[in-house]
Structure 1
Amino acid sequence: MRKPIAALALLALGCGAAAPDARPGEAAGPRTAAPAARAPAEPGRATRAAAEPGRATRAVAKAGRATRAVAVGAARAAGARERASWRITRRGAEHEIEGYADRVSVLPGERFRLLVSTTAPAFTARAFRMGARPTPVWRSGPLPGVRQPPALVVEDMVTAAHWRPSVTVDTTGWPEGAYLVRLDASTGAQRYVPVTVRSASTRGRVVLVNAVTTWQAYNGWGGRSLYQGPGGFAGRSRKITFDRPYDGTGARHFLAFERDAIAVAERSGVPLAYLTSLDLRPGALDGARAVVSLGHDEYYSPGMRAALTRARDRGVNLAFLGAGAVFWRIALHGRMIMCDKESRCLPWQASEPESALVGQAFDCYPAEGAYVVGRPGHWIFEGTRGRRFPGLAGVETDRVSPRSPAGVQVLARSPVDCAGRTTEGTTTYYTAPSGAGVFAAGTTRWVCGMRGRRCRHGVTGAAAAFTRRATRNLLTRFAEGPAARPGPSRPASPPAGRPPGEPS
């Protein structure tokens, strides 16, 4: 087990450890202090030093500061390597290793169980808190590998509820936040298991919501999701369960639509709380300053929607950093989601249009176009540069509608191609009677855009700077309380160097 970063720093400071990149036999301290040892070779220098009381002392202190700086630098480098180690480097074969947690979220100090299946003889598990600085918090010892039974299909629902638990994880000492548990098979294959350590109270804080109901809707593990099954759409599931692993890396929706926004939020300096969409229950948002729906957040039960509506009507600001939010109306039964997309699960537009809450409604998929700022003077865009950002509008877009709230402002109008149909995506903002502000980005690439060129689709570094800055402006203002009411002003200027939210 690797030592904690703080312990490494103390060890380096106390024992004069060599810098990690030093050549064999070359220690960091003596290397820094070497000029002082050669000083007597310079005629008269030793005499001058002796004649100036305190000069030698200052030289020793300077050498000590340099040694400490090298040690701190070494500790920081070790920390950077440790943080980088959260990434998967080899997925391996299908079913080589995979798993899920028996709880979607836990309070700090609570326990959850990992249920893991692997063809390897052994595996380990490591938990990383994901945010501005991904940090390891826990590691198991070697655990015996077990190939769990194949998935069961109950009616049309795929489940792994019959798997046996592999290890119980105690979250004592874990800070609130979004976590990835990385499973490492002894054969080298790796997968993620996401879990959220949720906040017991959201009072006075900006709440970040992991859209786990949407993650699960698109989860094709076992051959079925709410979209596809044997034979395509007709063979899809009408109900799904959290009692199964996620497909792909195990965290594709979190990494694509949420991680970068969380990093920007954590660097913004505002007080944060963390929930999942399953945690949007009565009382969960009492006293919150704002709620942030991250980049892809389609699936809402009546109770989830009611929680957001009630919060808005009490002055809690809302931000939707994606498109298609609150689109599908679902039923929740414990860890099961029901959505047949025929009669029992229909778009909210059919009864209570989501635009009444979000400010606009889903309009297009697949959409492609440049994001075009229409109101550059709005406070959300303060300090941003540019008005046109290629590729930032897509792959889903929303549009202001006749059912949008009175007084809604259209901040951006982006012409997009929608599979041959010309339409426009919009970004909107409105003020509720309670004073709450409601922002809707209207594109699922808002969070992706924070990665700049790594978002692909023609997105540039200018889009990364734009979306990060606009998001910080939004969070800073929303953290002060109802956005329509004047409050203390806090600067949202980015620090020097790499813009906040730039992934490592």
Structure 2
Amino acid sequence: MRVSTTARRFRVSAFRVGWYQGAQARLVWRSERVPGREQRAPDLHPLTRTVRAGWRRTLTVDTEGWPEGAYLLRLDADEGHQRYVPVVVRSASGAGRTVLLHAPATWQAYNGWGGYSLYSGQDGGYQQRSTIVSFDRPYDGSGAEKFLVYERAAVVLAERLGIPLAYTTGIDVHRDPGVLRKATAVVVLGHDEYWTPRQRRELVRARDAGTNVAILGANTCFRRVRLETHGDEPGHRPGRSVVCYKSSFARDPSYPARPDLVTTDFRSGPGADPESSFTGVLYEGFPTDAPYVVHQPRHWLFEGTGVRQGQAFDHLVGVEYDRVTPTAPTPRRIEIVAHSPLRCNGERSHQDSAYYTVPSGAGVFATGTMRWVEALMAGTRDNGRNHAMDAATGAFVTRTTENLLRAFAEGPAARHRPQPRRNVEEVYGRS
């Protein structure tokens, strides 16, 4: 661990996130108090505007013997300041288990530490953004915003259910996809936007071998990225840079010789491959705030919720959303189970939650809203009225997610749950 601080001393505590008789984390390790020091200013690569801290090691955290899982390392300064570091102790195998897939490439894409992210530069503008971002720097803000907002509540729920779980990240699937082999399900968490082509291929391969896929967010598998090694300093680890040129794809060194590796949106050329062929839904817009409207109340996903057709849950659709788009590549056997009217940037549209199956028997469900994981704690003492979502919304999302995870943990969903009924033409009309 590399730390820069003005505090005289600090200590590190490691908490495993889960379900411990109602507590949502357990302390597994704590360091002694460590002398603090302020390390040197970060380096900035002028061409790609990549920030790297280049700090010296402060202490070593030995995770040997820690249970697989999602962890938060909390740094506490003697003066009272705190910062988090999210860590995944990954599983070697997911066989017979539900694999929780964490999204560090997306965490890093939005990370503005040092003044640059894949979205903006120091001037706050898009034109001065980074085209390559590095894991050799801290996360900004609390250090764990994306994990806390879009992942933690799903981990807590999955652990509470007691289903067999495994843990990994999208980057680790890219490096070693063996964790997906014979997994009963993969759960893609609330905001997982940045994927490598290999990661996507391996998830599709797992689906086609019978592994269910649950997508608990929106804007999933939207950006096509590469993992690269940059820097010459000793001990520099491979693949610690995320490359995404986005609209500047013509500057990508892979262009035009390797169109399949050019880092832009999956749906865009060169090498266009819209995410909807895998997810079933297509990302459409930002920002929105709208009620979530149930379309198929008798679907097995909604069992025990007591919902009626047309019943709405305020504010559950946002801040980004997906929909089934008939003109985009879409799995044939797909059923829209929620269909929510909305406005986004002045335009009328809809959000959809959708479920489909493939010949292997695997089922794929996409919530189509980025607030799904946030809603798991809506109305509770832990999250209050998040985005003004109330306790009824929290109860609905929690029961639906429980139904989903329990069903998917039983193996290929088409073998033990009703087949989806294609209703795209019924919902959107025939072209």
TM bin (shorter chain): 0.7 to 0.9
Structure 1 gaps of 5+ residues are: 1-113, 488-504
Q: 1:408 aligns with which of 334, 338, 341?
A: 334
Partner of 1:120, secondary structure, is coil
Counterpart Cα distance in 1 of 2:52 and 2:132:
14
Rounded Cα–Cα distance in structure 1 between residues aligned with 2:159 and 2:129: 38
1:158-204 alpha-carbon deviations (Å, 9 max, x no partner): 43442001111111221110001011112211100111101111000
Question: Quick one: distance in 2 between partners of 1:172 and 1:427?
Answer: 40
182, 195, 198: which one pairs with 1:287?
A: 182
Structure 2 residue identity aligned to 1:427: S
Pick from 299, 304, 309 the counterpart of residue 383 of structure 1: 304
Q: Normalization by structure 1: what TM-score?
A: 0.73
Q: Distance in 1 between matches of 2:323 and 2:351?
A: 5
- Contact (CA 8 Å) 2:281, 2:330: kept in 1 or not? yes
Structure 2 residue corresponding to 1:437, chosen from 363, 371, 381: 363
Q: What is the CA deviation profile of residues 275-332 of structure 1, one whole-angstrom value per residue up to 9, with x for unaligned ones?
A: 0111113322001000000000000001110110110010100010000100000111
CA distance in 1, matches of 2:51, 2:129: 14
Q: Does 1:220 align with 2:147?
A: no
The alignment status of 1:240 with 2:166, answered yes or no, reads no
Match of 1:500 in 2: none
Q: Secondary structure at the match of 1:429?
A: strand
Aligned equivalents of 1:430, 1:371: Cα separation in 2: 20
1:301 match: 196
Q: Does 1:164 align with 2:69?
A: no
Query: Aligned partners of 1:460 and 1:142: how far apart in 2?
Result: 42
Moved more, 379-388 or 246-255: 379-388
Q: What amino acid maps onto 2:358 in structure 1? A: A
Matches within 5 A, 1:64-463: 114-132=1-19, 133-155=24-46, 156-231=48-123, 232-281=125-174, 282-333=177-228, 334-341=239-246, 342-343=248-249, 344-350=262-268, 351-386=272-307, 387-402=311-326, 403-453=329-379, 454-463=384-393
Alignment deviations for residues 228-277 of structure 1 (CA, whole Å, 9 cap, x no partner):
11231111000001111001000000000000011111111210000011
Q: What count of residue pairs does the alignment treat as equivalent?
A: 374
Q: TM-score by structure 2 length?
A: 0.85
Q: Percent identity?
A: 51
The structure in which a higher percent of residues are helix is: 1
- SS in structure 2 opposite 1:279? helix
Matches of 2:35 and 2:206, distance apart in 1 = 47
Change (3 A) 1:391 1:415: same
Distance in 1, Cα, partners of 2:5 & 2:306: 49
RMSD of Structure 2 on Structure 1 (CA): 1.2
Q: In 1, Cα distance between the equivalents of 2:122 and 2:285?
A: 26
Q: Which has the higher contact order (CA 8 A, sep 6+)?
A: 2
Structure showing greater radius of gyration is 1
Q: What SS class does the counterpart of residue 484 from structure 1 fall into?
A: helix
Choose from 407, 411, 418 the match for 1:477.
407
Contact 2:91 2:166 in 1 (8 A): yes
How many Å separate the matches in 2 of 1:463 and 1:242?
A: 36
* Structure 2 contact 95–179 (Cα < 8 Å) conserved: no
**Partner Cα distance (2:216, 2:119) in 1:** 23
Query: Structure 2 regions of 5+ residues with no counterpart?
Result: 229-238, 250-261, 418-431
* 8 Å contact from structure 2 (residues 51, 116) kept in 1: no
Give the whole-Å Cα distance in 1 for the aligned partners of 2:17 and 2:50.
29
Amino acid paired to 1:130: V
Q: Secondary structure at the match of 2:79?
A: coil
Residue 388 of structure 2 aligns with an amino acid whose one-letter code is G
User: Alignment partner of 1:406: what SS?
Assistant: coil
Note if contact 2:44-2:52 (Cα within 8 Å) is conserved in structure 1.
no
Structure 2: how far apart are the matches of 1:274 and 1:361?
A: 26
Equivalent-residue separation in structure 2 for 1:360 and 1:352 (angstroms): 13
Determine the C-alpha separation between the residues in 1 that align with 2:218 and 2:345. 17
Instruction: Report SS of the residue matched to 2:60.
Output: strand
**Deviation of 1:472 (Å):** 0.8
Q: Alpha-carbon deviation of 1:385?
A: 3.3
- Asked whether the equivalents of residues 292 and 317 of structure 2 are also in contact (C-alpha less than 8 Å), the reply is yes
Deviation at 1:455, TM superposition (A): 4.9
- Counterpart Cα distance in 2 of 1:460 and 1:161: 42
